[in-house]
Structure 1
């Protein structure tokens, strides 16, 4: 393995009423603890991307990096923060996962790493749209960080606006592999279907 991973937890969680969505409990673990447990065996190191007072995550015993682009620039800013950390620690590839998606595939890194394009994104099948990208789950060549920083500074916020320009590859996973928790109803559904 030559990858490290970033857990994207820098969002505002507005549909959940604000706060750290990853701290919501699902069964006996928080969402973010479940994400940590799933990604840690798949990579060599894990870093958390968050904003605000970073000391609130000390209990997780992970390095925490904030966005370097001001004003809550979205998940791409979190990917950039992860890329910068990866570059400082000698990693060539970064895997990104979302803090609100506690049951993503256990072979995520393995499947994404089968493709050698600079950006590889997870996707799910959809009967009408064919495939739906899950752009917070991806494999990113760390050397792209300067291009990504320039794009963010130019106002790019939509992940695929940038990844398509990099010649992204999409990898199809299962239909329900990336169920994410955005609302109290989603959390209630996940509680009922917890395996």
Structure 2
């Protein structure tokens, strides 16, 4: 019978810790985490069924912890700021793609005709934030189809203006922000207590 006890203790320990990390991020359903774990530990013999059994008590443990959380968490405030930016025609995407390169490549696909710019953080940013490292935000402006080519200075100004709107939205909900105003500098939300409720 294929049970967790068939796995080496080190594999079981590492898989459980990885499950805790993904649960702490708070964006994936339990079956999605099981699939991720099975992919990550496939060469060490972990099946998706085993991963699901491993995750179940950790998921319940996290749900119990949530009962003592404040009514509004920093992640709730972050979501509020992102919603406000969406209303201002800025694409705001949370836990978007695996990394920065993919995020920049794919964020245009989230835009519509009225979108002026974007802000996002990717899955690796989420994991760092959940581990207590603050949250890095990437941002920029969109140039509408048919607009004339712009100079580097004009492109940088457009990026800076979006960055200012992002910072204003974050500060409006009570989050602390670090940004030097440069178009090449990411915006960092810090300090940030990462308490993200699990999907219902």
- TM-score by length of structure 2 reads 0.31
More helix by percentage: 2
**Whose strand fraction is larger, Structure 1's or Structure 2's?**
1
